[in-house]
Amino acid sequence: MSIPGLFISFEGIDGAGKSSHIDGLAKAFTDQGRAVTLTREPGGTPLAEKLRAMVLNDPMDPLTEALLIFAARRDHVLNVIEPALARGDVVLCDRFTDASFAYQGAGRDFDLDVLLKLEQWVQSVPAESTGKLRQPNLTIWFDLNPAIAAERLAGARVPDKFESQPQAFFEKVASGYAQRAAQAPERFARIDAAQERHKVWQQITAVMVRRGWLSIMVASR
């Protein structure tokens, strides 16, 4: 019998420190014999990566931004995420639709009903006869106070369009994540991203072990 695929997304405001932990988890799953597809949003396909460059660099109105992000997502879902899940891979995705609700919805005050509609269109996948939308099995949410995130980001690199937003924007984004998490508590695992790095890693792997997805706790990387 084939192993069912697993779809895990990673979310949080810029500066919350998700990237290195995603790489660590990819290695942990590979070491335990699983095939891993490591991907990101916006992006993950040649077309979606082109759209990412526009979204992160070019000024545009909020509707255009939302449409481009969801267009990228559609291409990514159909061409990368669905085939990987059908093969039984563990899909580790650096951001997914919760980011649209947090950044475009809460951050930019963009219409949530439009986002809900786009989510429905883009995440309805032909392979699923259940009528349910494709959603991550689990979302690891790196929750961090925006003031701490701003300190971490200061001087780190040339900021993109979102990273250069003021702290007030990230306060809205953070509350957007909290709202999404409250709407789907069984899907979200909140990680206290203010902790030391190895404690964050411990918390993440403990979630994986509890769900039966990693068999043993993996030492900090």
**Chain residues that interact with ligand TYD, rule: CB under 6 A:** 14, 19, 41-42, 69, 94-95, 99-100, 103-104, 162-163
**Shortest Cβ 136–ligand TYD spacing (Å):** 12
Q: Give the phi and the psi of residue 93 in degrees, each rounded to 5.
A: -120, 115
If the CB atoms of residues 66 and 214 are measured against ligand TYD, the closer one turns out to be: 66
**Closest distance of CB 115 from ligand TYD, Å:** 9
Give strand ranges (E) for the chain: 6-12, 36-40, 90-94, 138-143, 188-192
The residue (of 84 and 99) whose beta carbon lies closer to ligand TYD is: 99
Q: Pick between residue 54 and residue 206 the one whose CB is nearest to ligand TYD.
A: 54
The amino acid that residue 116 corresponds to is L
CB of 94 to ligand TYD, least distance (A): 5
* Residue number, 95 or 180, with CB nearest to ligand TYD: 95
| Shortest spacing between CB 110 and ligand TYD, in angstroms | 10
Tokens 């997502």 locate to: 73
Q: Which amino acid is at 166?
A: P
Contact 22, 158 (CB under 8 A): no
Beta carbons within 8 Å of 177's beta carbon, 6+ residues apart: 11, 12, 13, 98, 102, 106, 141, 143
